[in-house]
Amino acid sequence: MYETLTKYLPELTKTKYGSWVLDTTNDGLLAHPKHFPFIDYDTTVDEIRNAIYAFEKSHPEYQLTKYNDILAKNHMDRGMQSIKTVDVQDLDGQTVMAMLMAATRIERFCTGAMLDFFESGNIRQWIQRLKDIDDANQE
């Protein structure tokens, strides 16, 4: 069921998934405004983010647009620290997908959050849990 995400597990062994891009050429004056810093993400990050949104669209029964409610039901809030420290070994697929959705949404408000989720190993751990669920369902 989660193959669209679990197929990326072999690529999730890196230590670097992107880098900050800082505008060091412009002086910030009206003629040369500085650009906001941003992260140039590895293509793996973009592909996984797209796969999360595609899963959400193709599986409305998961109700991932209500990821905050799913997290709250599992005693998590939508903050980064709350979902980063959860032991996922006993979580179901809907909850893990809600965590992945939360990670993508947090990035919209906190640039660099997704980079942290990848480089800390959280994304790999969560996707591994989805693979474990798939494997258990095939037995």
Mean pLDDT, each 10-residue run in order, the chain (139 residues): 96 93 88 90 96 97 96 85 90 97 92 93 97 90
Residue pair 71/80 in contact (Cβ under 8 Å)? The answer is no
CA distance 79 to 68: 10
pLDDT given at position 48: 97
What's the pLDDT tens digit per position in 116-128? 999 999 999 999 9
Cα distances (angstroms) measured from residue 40 to each of 36, 93, 114:
12, 29, 12
CA distance 29 to 34: 8
